Structure formats: C-alpha cells, structure tokens
Chains A and B, each alone.
Chain A
Amino acid sequence: MMVDFSVLTHNAGAIAGGFAVTLETWLAGTCLGMAAGLAMALLLLGGGRWTNRAIRLYIEVIRGTPFLVQLFFLYYGGPSIGLDLEPVTAGILGLGLYGSAYFAEVFRAGFGSIPKGHLEAGTCLGLTRWQMVRRIMLPQMLVIIVPSLCNTIIVLSKETAVLSVITVPELTGILTGIGSLSFAFLEVLVALCAGYLMLVELTAALGRWAEGKVGRYMIR
C-alpha cells in the first residue's frame, strides 16, 4: 500500500476552488449569523413579552435540531413554500440562521454582564439607549464575549462541511469526490483535515489578537 499525495497536486485547481467556496460560505454565513444574533439579543434587551417569546422559541428550535436537518428543510422543503434557492445561497442562509441562535446567546450573555450602574450613569447624563449600547455595552462586553464569539465562528467553519450534502462544491464535497474517484481516501482526508485545521488556527490566532486588543484597559 502506497501513500501518494500526487493525487492532490493533480487536482490542485479543483481543491483550491473548493477551498474558496468553503471560505465564502463560512464568512458570509458568519456575518449573517452575527448580525442576526446581535439583532435578536438587542430585541431581547428592550423588547416586549411576545418578541421575547418568539426569539426564545427560535433559539430553542435552532439549537435543538441538527444542522443537517435544518439544511434539508431549507433546501428541499423551501421550494414547496416558494423558496427556491441555489445550493450556495441556501448554504449561506442555512449557516447564518444556524449560527444566529448561538451568536444571540453569546451577545445576550454579554449584555447581561454589564453592571446596571454603568447604564444608570449613562441614563443620568442623558445618553440614549442606542448610545449606551454602542458606546458603553458593546465595547465593554467584547472582552468577555470575544472568546465565545471565536468559538462559535470556529464551529461554523467546520459546519460548512455539511453543505456538501446539498451539493455545495466546498472543500469536503470536492475532496471526498476526488477520493472516491481515485480511491486515495487517506490522502484526501489528510488534506481535508489540514485545510480545516488551517482555518481554525487562523481564526484562533485572530481571536487571541482581538482579545488583547479589546482588553487593553484591563489591568491584570
């Protein structure tokens, strides 16, 4: 039995394309998820009873069901309610919806960590609610939530692999495809792991840098 990595160099173009799609779906899904998650956490902060209930329900449903099933709903179930999406679009949207539930919880915990007095001080000085969110809460809570945000982003990077089941031509889909044609499974799986590890390590390094950056004011 020989291990021969030439199968990778022969398919370098296709693999690079897959990597690009992985990056694209991951980054777009993360941005969408973060924006939606932040919006939900803000609504939870200032919303009425029914808004709160609706958001809680959404978060519980998303967190309580497998991503794969959610993706099937979106891609295969979508057309029956007039939602006919391209695989990549469905993948990004699915990843965003999935991530938003987790991001919402991270942001909610962050908002909850701000001492009430810090907001009372702002209230007395006439700051608006939005100013307090933007100027007092968000910058202060970043110190606490950056590790959790990073964690969620890393999880999402690996969830992009699931998108291959709805025919998104991302890294996992491409490489396992090459594997089954060439029977060089060991080689492609090693390459696959290396690809994700690279993304994760890069994200983690960025996260550590960001932690230092947002925590400058803290004396440890």
Chain B
Amino acid sequence: MVSRPASTPDPSGQPRPAMIQLRNLVKRFGANEVLKGIDLDILKSEVVCVIGPSGSGKSTLLRCMAFLEAYDEGDVFVEGLLLGYAQDREGRRVRAGDPELNRVRRNVGMVFQQFNLWPHMTALGNVTEALRRVRRMPRPRADELGLAVLEKVGMAHKARSYPAQLSGGEQQRAAIARALAMEPHIMLFDEPTSSLDPELVGEVLQVMKQLARDGMTMVVVSHEMGFAAHVADRVVFIDQGRIVAQGPPEEIFQGQQQAPRLQQFLKDYLERNAFWTRTGEDPG
C-alpha cells in the first residue's frame, strides 16, 4: 500500500476541495448515448481509477474532463469553473471560445494511450514546446525546466532522442513529463499502459505511483487492476455509461460490493489472469 498524507483526512479537519465535479454528465455520439448521467467528484490529491468493460464509456468520461469531447448535457467543473461552455446574454449555454476554454483547461494535464508525442521533436522539444509557445518562456529557461521534469520521470539522459528512438515505456514517460511541465493541478491518464509491452508497464506505473505520492490529483482509466488496487484511493466501475459501483479498492476488489456486473467483470478479469492463482503468487 502506498501511504500518502493526502489520502488520510486533512489534519485541520477541513474537507478537501473538489478539483473536478461532474454533474449529470451526458454524452452522445449520434443516437448512441455513451454517458448516461454521470455524477462524480474528484477531490484534491485523490487518485481515482476508472475501470469497466470496453465500450463502457470510461475513456469518453475522461476525455470530457479535458473537453476533448464536447458533452451534451450536464456540467463539468474544473476547480469550480465550468469547462467548455459559457452563457450568452439570454442565459443560454453556448460553446466557450478557445481562450476561455484554455483558461479553464490549463490546470488539466492529459496522458494518452498512444503517447501522442510529436515525432519531429526530441523528448526535450516535446516537453518544452508548450512552455515556449503557451507560457512564452525563453528557450534556456524552458530547457532547464524541461530537463528537470524529464529527470523526474527518469528520462533526462534521453532528452535529445526523438520518439522513434525511444521504447514505448520511455515515450510514455516523456509524454507524462510533457504534461507535467505545464504544472497541472490534475492529471488524467487514458489507458496509459495499454499499448505497452508487458515488461515496459512497470516503469510507467512507477512514475505514476511517485506522482500519487507527491500528492497529484489523478484520474486513471486503466486495465491495470494491480495499480488500481495498490495506488487508488477510490475505484469507480462504470458500465454502459453509468457508474455501477465505487469505493475504496479493498471494497471493490474483495467483493464487498454486490453489483452483479462488477462481479462478472472481476471474474472475467481473474480468469484471464488465472496463472497467478495457480502459482499462488501475489499479483502486485
């Protein structure tokens, strides 16, 4: 178990502020309703893992939190500010302009399944691009900060390498550094290890664990049940666009929640990974 000061109640007894609030979030793709009214609060320094079968809407949920998908109904608040929409003079909801949208989204960092590093820039170039273009930082300062962030994910020695020269794990760590460089308050991870070779998953999870220890607010969509069990403060199980069960990982994984769909999901997962039970080894 990773123990983090922030995962225990605040010593002052103050409730932790919500970093992201979803209220009755609905998202449709044409006639297909992918999210059917999601209510969820992500608290400061909380690590929330979203699990669920493929097609359950978990990635869409995450993408709505960065407004990579425009949601159809409900609200997404990031640190209290409505994301992606504004009100016109008659009080109707209209799409926010890019500058307003970016002002609210600025504190949200995103990590993708496919890394999405820009292949024509070095690792350092990827990390410093937004520092230089968005933050208008002069190059020497951006490079200095970029190297420091790469150091944090153990990638400083590969700063001058192009993505094609990096392994999948290294690419994903560079992508995490790229998001971290902008000093977000919230990090979103969309299946960060799903396109990695099994032996490269560990190095990425290690970086994420360190982030969690440092008190970063994190929402992780993942198939890594081990990570969810050991690092998450809360596991949210969603199926067919609805939150079916949520709670601390012990509760979710030890079958204390009676949701049949969750039980089936966990049973299927264990069957696929049944070699553990035979050798009696600990999965973590």
Contacts and interface: CB of A to CB of B under 8 A. Distances in A.
A196 to B, nearest CB: 34
Interface stretch (B23-31, B53-61, B112-120, B239-247): B112-120
B68 A127 contact: no
Interface in A96-140: 115, 117-118, 120-129, 131, 135-136, 139-140
Interface stretch (B33-41, B101-109, B137-145, B272-280): B101-109
Given A135-B129, A136-B118, A121 B105 contact: no
Interface residues of B, number: 29
Contacts of B112: 117, 120-121
Nearest to B106: A126
Interface string B119-143: 1110000000110011000000000
B165 A126 contact: no
| Chain A interface mostly | helix
A139 B162 contact: no
B179 interface: yes
A124 B134 contact: no
B220 to A, nearest CB: 16
Contacts of B106: 126
A117 B116 contact: yes
B98 to A, nearest CB: 7
A140 B98 contact: no
B173 interface: no
B178 interface: yes
B110 interface: yes
Nearest to B164: A219
A131 B133 contact: yes
A185 B205 CA distance: 76
A218 interface: yes
Given A125-B178, A125-B182, A217 B129 contact: no
Given A121-B110, A219-B162, A219-B164, A126 B116 contact: no
Contact of B162 (A129, A135, A217): A217
Given A117-B116, A118-B118, A135-B133, A124 B162 contact: no
B225 interface: no
A127 to B, nearest CB: 6
B43 interface: no
Contacts of B66: 124
Contacts of B163: 217
A139 B130 CA distance: 16
B134 A125 contact: yes
Interface string A133-174: 001100110010000000000000000000000000000000
17 contacts: A118-B116, A124-B66, A124-B68, A124-B105, A124-B108, A124-B109, A126-B130, A127-B129, A127-B133, A128-B98, A129-B98, A131-B133, A139-B120, A140-B118, A217-B163, A219-B162, A219-B165
Interface of B: 66, 68, 98, 102, 105-106, 108-110, 112, 114, 116-121, 129-130, 133-134, 162-165, 175, 178-179, 182
A-B pairs, top 6 by smallest CB distance, nearest first, are A125-B130, A117-B116, A121-B116, A124-B110, A219-B164, A126-B134
Interface of A: 115, 117-118, 120-129, 131, 135-136, 139-140, 143, 217-219
Given A120-B68, A131-B133, A217-B164, 20 more contacts: A115-B114, A115-B116, A117-B114, A120-B110, A121-B112, A122-B130, A123-B68, A124-B68, A125-B130, A125-B182, A126-B105, A126-B182, A127-B129, A127-B130, A127-B133, A127-B134, A128-B98, A217-B120, A217-B162, A218-B119
